[in-house]
Amino acid sequence: MPAWKHHVFVCTNKRPPGHPKGSCADRGCAEVAAALGAALEQDEALWENVKLQTSNCLGPCRAGPTLVVYPEGTWYGGVTAADVPEIVREHFHGGRPVKRLVLEG
Ligand code: FES
């Protein structure tokens, strides 16, 4: 059984137009998930250690696009595809969450 260092869930939920909560799909989650997937595929160390899953609604919809990284339980919000290299470098390689994107509980 794989022993991933990080398990990442990216919300890709889409709601109908006009829904009061909106959705991560309206805010660019597909690009975030694609950028993360591409980063993992291009980095052998990450491919072995980081598992990426798309997910239905994770809860903090208005802060989307959202993702959560386990086992540490770090929540990110307002993530764009442009933020992915920093998350990869700082969090996945460096073990330091990107504070400016962390959702506070
Ligand atoms: S729609 Fe993404 S967190 Fe709810």
Q: Mind listing the pLDDT tens digit for each residue in 12-32?
A: 999 999 999 999 999 999 999
pLDDT of residue 104: 87
33: CB partners within 8 A, 6+ apart: 10, 12, 52, 54
For atom 1 of ligand 1, the residue with the nearest CA is 23
SS (H, E, C) 68-105: EEECCCEEECCCCHHHHHHHHHHHHHCCCCCHHHECCC
Enumerate long-range contacts of 74-79, CB under 8 Å, 24 or more apart. Answer: 74/102, 75/102, 75/103, 75/105, 76/101, 76/102, 76/103, 77/101, 77/103, 79/32
- The rounded Å distance from CA 54 to ligand 1 centre is 11
Q: Where are the domains of the chain?
A: 6-101
pTM for this predicted structure:
0.94
1 — pLDDT class (breaks 50, 70, 90): low
> Which two structure tokens, joined as six digits, stand for 75?
């929540």
User: Which residues contact ligand 1 via a Cβ below 6 A?
Assistant: 11, 13, 23-24, 57-61, 64, 66
- CATH class of residue range 6-101: alpha beta
